[in-house]
Amino acid sequence: DQQVKQNSPSLSVQEGRISILNCDYTNSMFDYFLWYKKYPAEGPTFLISISSIKDKNEDGRFTVFLNKSAKHLSLHIVPSQPGDSAVYFCAASAFTGGTSYGKLTFGQGTILTVHP
């Protein structure tokens, strides 16, 4: 049972345009959401996160939007750059006291390609 889903395996965007990556979740206990970026032959690196008490978080070119009622979040990259080409993973966690975000559930990932 995939509790976090990224339904688009890949996305291709022109340099300078907006990239929108989507993620859906089913577990209503999730209250903290993260996006990780992964280049080939490297481990995932943290990009941006959002708590369920917010509906938007912005960091430079990256903005994450959370729609709790739809159980949906999205990552917007504006403007997209060729260096943004990577696999993007959405992840979710639930504050359960003991684990305190130690347990992450990841989506399948979306391959973003930004063309010059």
Binding positions for other proteins, rule: CB under 8 A: 4, 6, 9, 34, 36, 41-46, 49, 89, 91, 98-109
What is the DSSP annotation of 1-43? --SEE---SEEEEETTS-EEEEEEE--TT--EEEEEEE-TTS-
Between 97 and 116, name the residue whose CB sits nearer to other proteins. Answer: 97
Closest distance to other proteins from the beta carbon of 31 (Å): 12
> In DSSP terms, which residues pair with 74 in a beta bridge?
22, 65
Closer Cβ to other proteins, 13 or 90, answer by number: 90
Maximal CA-CA distance, the chain: 46
Nearest distance, CB of residue 60 and other proteins, angstroms: 16
Query: How far, in whole angstroms, is CA 61 from its chain's centroid?
Result: 14
Smallest distance from the beta carbon of 85 to other proteins, in angstroms? 18
